[in-house]
Homo-oligomer: A and B are copies of this chain.
Amino acid sequence: MMKLYSAVGTCALATHIALEEAGADYEVEFLDFSSKAQAQPSYLNVNAKGRVPALVTDRGVLTETPAILHYLAAAYPDAGLAPRDDIFALARMNEFNSYLCSTVHVAHAHKQRGHRWADEPSSFEDMRRKIPETATANFTAIEKHMFKGPWVMGDDYSAADGYLFTVSGWLKGDGVDIAIFPAIADHNKRMRDRPAVAKALSMLPS
């Protein structure tokens, strides 16, 4: 059985949704970030990065959402998590997930994790002020250039949808009204109707 380490409000939700979509045999443990559980030696022994997600498999611990989503798509070929038989379409999904990871998530992280890249409180404030601007620019690019509809990749659902659902869920807290992106707002709403998404959301600790 696999084990997912997750935390409320993090990108680990994307992996959680994929596990549910795949019908995988797994358990999930939510780390309490407010007490810095992710920095405890017991967790650092699992994932030296001190972040989530970490997916414990029988061959080792996997991290990095784009890599995990691609792995789950390959491990559960019948789950339809990726266009596995078309290497270009698969590259498109990986490209989208990489953009969410390295651009969209990174921009969002500047709100509360500015200490990763700077030291001064004035810099942290400056970064926080810019979040609505960067989030708006990133989601405008997604809506305009990347999202095909009705799902991210077009007609077929993929693991990229759970990832987009996860990061678009951060918009409100980042001071951006998701309604200014009609396609993404509609996607977010439809995602909640999927049993796998509802199940993953229901498991979040209150």
Tell me how far the C-beta of A57 lies from the nearest C-beta in chain B, rounded to whole angstroms.
7
Give the complex CA separation of A27 and B129 in angstroms. Answer: 42
Chain B minimum-CB-distance residue to A48: B145
Tell me how far the C-beta of A76 lies from the nearest C-beta in chain B, rounded to whole angstroms.
10
Give the complex CA separation of A67 and B95 in angstroms. Answer: 5
Residues from chain B with Cβ under 8 Å of A48 in the complex: 141, 144-145
Q: Using A88-B57, A102-B102 as known contacts, say yes or no to A126 and B130 having CB atoms under 8 A apart.
A: no
Residues from chain B with Cβ under 8 Å of A91 in the complex: 62, 67-68, 70-71, 74
Give the complex CA separation of A129 and B75 in angstroms. Answer: 43
Task: Decide if A18 is an interface residue (CB 8 Å cutoff).
Answer: no
Task: Annotate A56-91 by CB proximity to B: 1 below 8 A, 0 otherwise.
Answer: 010110111111101100110000000000011011
Task: Annotate A28-64 by CB proximity to B: 1 below 8 A, 0 otherwise.
Answer: 0000000000000000000011000000010110111
Residues from chain B with Cβ under 8 Å of A92 in the complex: 60, 62, 67
Chain B minimum-CB-distance residue to A93: B67
Contact B98 A106 (CB under 8 A): no
Give the complex CA separation of A90 and B60 in angstroms. Answer: 13
Tell me how far the C-beta of A119 lies from the nearest C-beta in chain B, rounded to whole angstroms.
6
Residues from chain B with Cβ under 8 Å of A88 in the complex: 57, 59-60, 62, 71
Binding site for B on A (CB under 8 A): 48-49, 57, 59-60, 62-68, 70-71, 74-75, 87-88, 90-92, 94-95, 97-99, 101-102, 105-107, 110, 116-120, 122-123, 126-127, 129-130, 134, 141, 144-145
